[in-house]
Amino acid sequence: MQHINRIMQHTGIRTLLFMFMLIGFSASAAMAMDIDTARQQGLAGETDSGYLAVPPNAAGDAMPIITTVNEQRRAEYTRIATRNGIAAEVVGTMMFEKIYPTLAPGTWVRINGSWSQK
């Protein structure tokens, strides 16, 4: 955790993360609505690695949107990591920490391998 805090103190990272949150997660309004709907219906959940996954007992198919969003996130995490000399996994974890407070109550989240609802 100290490593992440030290990285977060770096102004360039904070700026990039802020820009990513504004641009990356809302790349298209239609895509964002699909993600929100999938989360609200319990078809997609957030993981502490910064990626979407199918929560337990999901009764529907959100894999196309999950796959698309995860591909976009992976590319963005890699870009940010490369520019800052850190691992993409660290960027993904940092993004989860940033978006977790914004998730609606009832959203499925997987932390340390265990699923629960926020």
Residue boundaries of the structural domains of the chain: 2-117
Report the range of poorest mean pLDDT among 1-5, 72-76, 95-99, 108-112: 1-5
What pTM was computed for the model? 0.73
Beta bridge partners, 110, equal 47, 115
Q: pLDDT tens across 46-80, in order?
A: 999 999 999 998 887 899 999 999 999 999 999 99
Q: pLDDT tens across 39-54, in order?
A: 999 999 999 999 999 9
* Residue % of the chain over a pLDDT of 70: 72
Beta bridge partners, 35, equal none
What's the gap between Cα 33 and its chain centre?
A: 15
CA 49/CA 88 separation, integer angstroms: 10
31 has pLDDT over 90: no
Position 85: which residue type? Answer: G
Strand 45-47 and strand 52-53: the pairing is antiparallel
